[in-house]
A and B are shown apart, each in its own frame.
Chain A
Amino acid sequence: MKIVVHVDKCIAAGHCAKVAPQLFAQDEDSGLVVRLKESPAPDEQALAERAARLCPALAIEIIAEEGDTATEGDAATRDAGQQQAVAPGP
């Protein structure tokens, strides 16, 4: 897995640095994203994906590579959403 950050899109929301401080920080002056690691370790890949999903400006891109730890795609997300759509008990 490789992490690419698009600093021109970043709006300093700071979600990435909050959920994955080992991978992302915010520049002290501008608040814009600073990538701390290009290639996250296997046990950091889920966090990298989470940071990318939470970014409201879509400034973080995750490029999958062979050997990544398994992650869920869109289809899985949507299917699971439908399975989840059952009413819980009172």
Chain B
Amino acid sequence: MLKARDQVVVVGAGQAGYSVVTSLRTNGFDGRIVLVGNEGEPPYQRPPLSKAFLSGEPAAPSLHFQPAAEFAAMDIDLIAGDAAVEIDRQANRIVLASGVELTYAHLVLATGTRNRRLFDPAIAGIFSLRSLADAEAIKAAFAETDAVVILGGGFLGLEIAVAAQARGLRVHVLEAEALPLSRNVSPVISAHILASHRARGIEISLGVRLRDLRTSNNRLEAVELDDGRVLACHTLVTSVGVVPNDEIAVAAGLAVTNGIVVNERLETSDARISAIGDCARFPHWMSGQMVRLESVQNAVDQGEWLGARLCGDDCLTYAAVPWFWSDQGGIRLQIAGLRAGADRFVIRGGATENSFSAFCFKGDRLACIESVNMPGHHMKGRRFLAVGARAPTPEEVEAGAF
């Protein structure tokens, strides 16, 4: 437990970093807090970047969680625009790129992920969305083109596709698997979303890979696909997954396996260092498996929980119900739980063709509920899957018995 004069250093000023510093103050910690971010911005919302921000629809006044001045009011030192480059565990100290050194009683790594990049960033016309600066660049590119190719049919790629189409662009999505979102949702949901996007005029090619680029004067001209097609393309957005920012933990000798490994208390292999959010791989209470989740819910809940633990609320293990969402132009997709290993599915329809849920089971045990425009089912899922709750069996769901 922290003492009053301790200093907590949080590396990473995204959703998880913001959550833990807020939680520390809410839970009564009055020592020093330093929040280090590398983007030159106070912490902000990433989810709208691929949605309202990109489609150009009038958005909220600001994506920042709070005005920067409020960090000072909360006695939080916000260092925006510097990066942690080294952890000296013997000295309980981190070193920033600027040379500044910060000592810690507790260190929180909330370093997030970065996009997998496939191509030389020097080629003009190729984009990838992660940061506000990325989103601004893509928005500017959309204003100057009438067509875009999107590589990757995951949540992010499809949200960008919908936003681009809303701006009047011709959109072509390239997906390597047989269905979009195949790693994220059940085939019935994938098929529904695919049909819906095609019906609105988004072109989606499945089972194709990008083989090569054609450029002229270092500017993208066309993409070559592995089925032999060559598509004229001056604007390409790649969304082909992320890699965790765990190098600083590797260099410090912490356990790292595709993410910084933590226990059920979110402690790394050094108990004075915790890791939360997208960068952390933790044992999930629902499955016992080690997972690394990329979601707002995970970042917020782990940050809140860790803040409480560091302030002495020390008796429980982290056990929030994971949930996810994606907003794709008329499709509000909500997922409660984790689908991995599900082998049995029950579909429950709603009032329209565009509203239904897939209840996914491992054997008889509910693993997750995937809902399209069925927020009631989603909320039931969050309750059914909570610690100690009893979830319905496949037969009960089929009979509508809840």
Contacts and interface: CB of A to CB of B under 8 A. Distances in A.
A67 to B, nearest CB: 18
Contacts of B81: 85
A72 B4 CA distance: 32
A31 B102 CA distance: 42
Nearest to B41: A81
A87 B296 contact: no
Contacts of A87: 79, 82, 96, 98, 100
A76 B332 CA distance: 34
Nearest to A46: B70
Contacts of A36: none
Interface residues of B, number: 46
A30 B34 contact: no
A54 B67 CA distance: 12
Nearest to A9: B327
Given A54-B65, A58-B59, A81-B68, A30 B325 contact: no
Interface in A53-67: 53-58, 60-62
Interface in A13-59: 13, 15, 29-32, 50, 52-58
Given A29-B376, A54-B65, A58-B51, 11 more contacts: A29-B379, A31-B379, A56-B45, A57-B327, A74-B61, A80-B42, A80-B67, A81-B68, A84-B80, A88-B32, A90-B101
User: Which 4 pairs of residues, A with B, have the shortest CB-CB distance?
Assistant: A80-B68, A81-B68, A30-B375, A31-B379
29 contacts: A8-B332, A11-B325, A12-B375, A13-B297, A13-B300, A30-B375, A31-B375, A31-B379, A52-B60, A52-B61, A53-B45, A53-B65, A56-B296, A57-B47, A58-B45, A58-B48, A58-B52, A73-B62, A74-B64, A76-B67, A77-B69, A78-B41, A81-B41, A81-B80, A82-B80, A84-B77, A85-B80, A85-B82, A88-B77
Interface of B: 32, 34, 40-42, 45, 47-48, 51-52, 59-62, 64-69, 71-72, 77-82, 96, 98, 100-103, 296-297, 300, 325, 327, 332, 334, 375-376, 378-379, 382
Interface of A: 8-13, 15, 29-32, 50, 52-58, 60-62, 72-74, 76-88, 90
